[in-house]
């Protein structure tokens, strides 16, 4: 073992640890590793920037734009909504139809966009069929993941692996080459989640009360302004109720009228009732210092909060939201969106204290109290997805019909070999921009830049693993184990071990990072065994997408964490069977569908 190999192994261990602990955003960690490789001279400047021009990076960026263009038409929601309503009282048939639709959609569209689009539909179906959303949302994520294995463009991992295939001088993977095994994965995956979700997943999330879901009972109450109160004649802003007491006034009840607009500047009068959100200690301090009375310790629920003018709604922060890493105070959320944020749900826990000062993260869900007329504005926002209710209608924007025609045409041209996926996707995006079916601002916003930057930064890491001999060293360690097997079984055992190691690694590291790290090892294994590298790279592609056992293993798993009220153990309990089953399936099918 050389010093360079030892250094690279140490660097990889540190990288994987930082990824798993989520100490920094993944793209920040990736660029930090790239900087170390550049400073130490392991990678030169020319190879350090090669990831930015990698065909996979450009293609994935174009596909983000195309996915956004199609999903914003609402076509898939309308189709799935109508199909699920046709099944009547047959609950799980309706759920199964929705999951099949999600899986097929993910074969051609970005699966995070598909899941974001279908979460409101899934919750609506759950409500109509009287099924807990906890039994539907995680299957929704899994259906999108297995659907991504159907085609070359189904997931960015497939495109990354394809770049290694072409880089090794082999013919590029075809549009439907993954379909050979992908249809079996999709069929088994959708069947598994449809049949076993009702038994293995909890009925933890319910739609009967959002305030109970967020455990808000002890944090919402009513305060009456007394005649001798120091608040009389003053506004909430003048008193600094929010600043000094960390209490939010949601509405003022006066003479059978409910005031919800411009509350901060309304002078308070004797007899006014304030609906407030805050922690008990601060509410009691306000009562003692300002002369207000606590109305019979009322704990407000959905009925008291939601009126003809206001509704309770949940909003999911998407991966490209401008709200990420900003606080509600920074955003002036109440003034900008016209809604109160009552609580934030993150990683299975509910944040209620100092939420105005808490930086928001992707996949956070916000419990909001908003005027009904502002709900549609929130639904149209590109910063969050309103998941409390679904909207079934086509959005006929400019040249909406062209959007529905261009993507199928692209699939036909690429699959028949008329044009390659990079040129085809680039041409399709240019056409949509020229027709103004998608404007430039939309195009920028639809791209998940963190994914592209992660891939661009890790491409040189794969190069460094090859040039330093690290990939060959890891491969030799795997081959040392398989040497105990007969020579004719060695490739089979090696492929099976590679698949298992990749699928376990992707549970703690992103699927894209896993593919970029393991693909060079796969090439080294094939070279050492003297066999075709294609089966090994196919194994890396499928195993990198087999991310079912942890919430952080795949973006879609994180997206349903809050809305489904899941816990970490739910993912492991429900996903481990699928992970192990796919490992056995892959170990058996890959050598037969892609012979050595």
Domain that holds residue 291: 217-300
Give the per-residue pLDDT at 78: 63
Residues 417, 284 share a domain: no
pLDDT of 522 reads 92
Q: Considering the domain boundaries, does residue 317 fall inside one?
A: no
pLDDT tens, position by position, 81-110 = 565 566 555 667 778 888 888 899 888 887
Lowest mean pLDDT: which of 388-402, 484-498, 576-590?
388-402
Q: Does residue 466 lie in a domain region?
A: no
User: Which range (14-23, 44-53, 432-441, 524-533) has the least confidence?
Assistant: 14-23
Q: Are 115 and 99 in contact (CB under 8 A)?
A: no
CATH number at residue 287: 3.30.70.1450
Query: pTM above 0.75?
Result: no
CB atoms within 10 A of CB 580: 15
Q: Are residue 227 and residue 166 in the same domain, yes or no?
A: no
Instruction: Give the mean pLDDT of the chain.
Output: 81
Domain assignment present for 116: yes
Q: Are residues 182 and 261 in the same domain?
A: no
Q: Are residues 201 and 275 in the same domain?
A: no
Element (H, E) at 537: helix 534-545
**If you average pLDDT over residues 37-45, what whole number do you get?**
88
Q: Are residues 70 and 102 in the same domain?
A: yes
pLDDT digits (tens, 9 = 90+) for 194-237: 999 888 988 765 545 555 565 555 556 778 888 888 899 899 88
Q: CB of 534 within 8 A of CB of 165?
A: yes
One domain for residues 142 and 111: yes
Q: Is residue 7 part of a domain?
A: no
pLDDT at residue 297, rounded to an integer: 43
Cβ atoms of 460 and 47 closer than 8 Å: yes
Instruction: Give me the mean pLDDT over the 45-55 stretch.
Output: 84
Q: Does residue 474 fall inside a structural domain? A: no
> Both 181 and 248 in a single domain?
no
Residue-level pLDDT at 500: 92
31-45, 129-143, 390-404, 529-543: range with highest mean pLDDT: 529-543
Separation of first and last alpha carbons in the chain: 29
Tell me if 568 is assigned to some domain.
no
Number of structural domains in the chain: 2
Residue that is last in its domain, among 300, 335, 354: 300
Residue 253: its H or E element: strand 248-254
Asked whether residue 42 is domain-assigned, the answer is no
Residues 106 and 196 both lie in one domain: yes
Question: How far is 469 from 1, CA to CA, in rounded Å?
Answer: 9
Is pLDDT above 90 for 453? no
In angstroms, the CA 366 to CA 345 distance is: 6
Residue 175 belongs to a domain: yes
Q: Which of 300, 320, 355 is the last residue of a domain?
A: 300
228 and 182 in one domain?
Answer: no
Tokens of 520: 């060079």
* Residue at which a domain ends, from 262, 281, 300: 300
């Amino acid at each position: 073992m050389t010093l360079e190999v030892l250094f690279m192994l140490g660097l990889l261990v540190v990288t994987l640890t930082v990824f798993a602990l989520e100490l920094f955003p993944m793209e920040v960690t990736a660029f930090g590793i790239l900087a170390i490789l550049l400073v130490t001279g392991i990678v030169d400047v020319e190879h350090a920037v090669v990831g930015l021009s990698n065909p996979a990076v450009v293609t994935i960026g174009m596909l983000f734009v195309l996915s956004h263009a199609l999903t914003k038409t609402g076509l898939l929601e309308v189709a799935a909504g109508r199909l699920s309503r046709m099944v009547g009282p047959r609950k799980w048939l309706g759920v199964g139809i929705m999951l099949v639709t999600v899986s097929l959609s993910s074969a051609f569209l970005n699966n995070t966009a598909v899941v974001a689009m279908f979460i409101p539909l899934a919750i609506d179906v759950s409500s109509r069929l009287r099924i807990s959303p906890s039994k539907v949302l995680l299957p929704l994520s899994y259906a999108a993941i297995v659907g991504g294995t159907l085609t070359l463009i189904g997931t960015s991992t497939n495109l990354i692996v394809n770049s290694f295939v072409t880089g090794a001088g082999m013919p590029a993977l075809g549009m439907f080459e993954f379909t050979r095994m992908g249809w079996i994965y999709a069929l088994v995956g959708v069947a598994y989640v449809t049949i076993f979700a009702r038994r293995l997943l909890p009925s933890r999330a319910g739609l009967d009360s959002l305030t109970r879901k967020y455990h808000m009972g002890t944090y919402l109450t009513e305060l009456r302004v007394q005649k001798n109160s120091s608040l009389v004649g003053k506004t909430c802003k003048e008193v600094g109720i929010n600043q000094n007491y960390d209490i939010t006034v949601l509405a003022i009840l006066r003479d059978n009228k409910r005031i919800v607009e411009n509350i901060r500047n309304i002078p308070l009068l004797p007899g006014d009732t304030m609906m407030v959100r805050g922690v008990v200690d601060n509410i009691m301090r306000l009562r003692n210092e300002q002369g207000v009375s606590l109305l019979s310790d009322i704990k407000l629920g959905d009925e008291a909060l939601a009126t003809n003018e206001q509704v309770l709604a949940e909003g999911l922060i998407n991966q490209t939201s401008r709200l990420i890493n900003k606080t509600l105070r920074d955003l002036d959320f109440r003034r900008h969106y016209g809604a109160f944020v009552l609580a934030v749900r993150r990683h299975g826990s509910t944040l209620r204290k100092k939420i105005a000062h808490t930086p928001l993260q992707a996949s956070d869900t916000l419990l909001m109290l908003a005027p009904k007329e502002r709900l549609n504005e929130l639904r149209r926002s590109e910063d969050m997805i309103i998941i409390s209710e679904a909207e079934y209608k086509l959005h006929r924007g400019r040249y909406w019909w062209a959007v529905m025609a261009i993507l199928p045409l692209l699939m036909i041209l690429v699959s028949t070999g008329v044009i390659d996926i990079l040129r085809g996707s680039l041409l399709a995006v240019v056409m949509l921009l020229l027709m103004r079916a998608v404007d430039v601002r939309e195009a920028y916003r639809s791209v998940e830049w963190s994914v592209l930057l992660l891939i661009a930064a890790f491409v040189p890491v794969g190069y460094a693993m090859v040039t330093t001999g690290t990939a060959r060293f890891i491969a030799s360690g795997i081959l040392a184990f398989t040497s105990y097997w007969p020579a004719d079984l060695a490739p089979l055992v090696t492929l099976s071990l590679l698949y298992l190691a990749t699928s376990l690694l992707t549970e703690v590291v992103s699927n894209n990072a896993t593919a970029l790290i393991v693909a060079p090892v796969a090439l080294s294994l094939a070279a050492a065994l003297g066999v075709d590298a294609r089966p090994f790279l196919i194994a890396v592609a499928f195993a990198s997408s087999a991310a079912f056992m942890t919430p952080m293993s795949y973006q879609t798993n994180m997206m349903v964490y809050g809305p489904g009220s899941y816990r970490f153990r739910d993912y492991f309990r429900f996903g481990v069977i699928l992970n192990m089953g796919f490992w056995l399936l892959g170990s058996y099918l890959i050598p037969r569908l892609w012979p050595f």
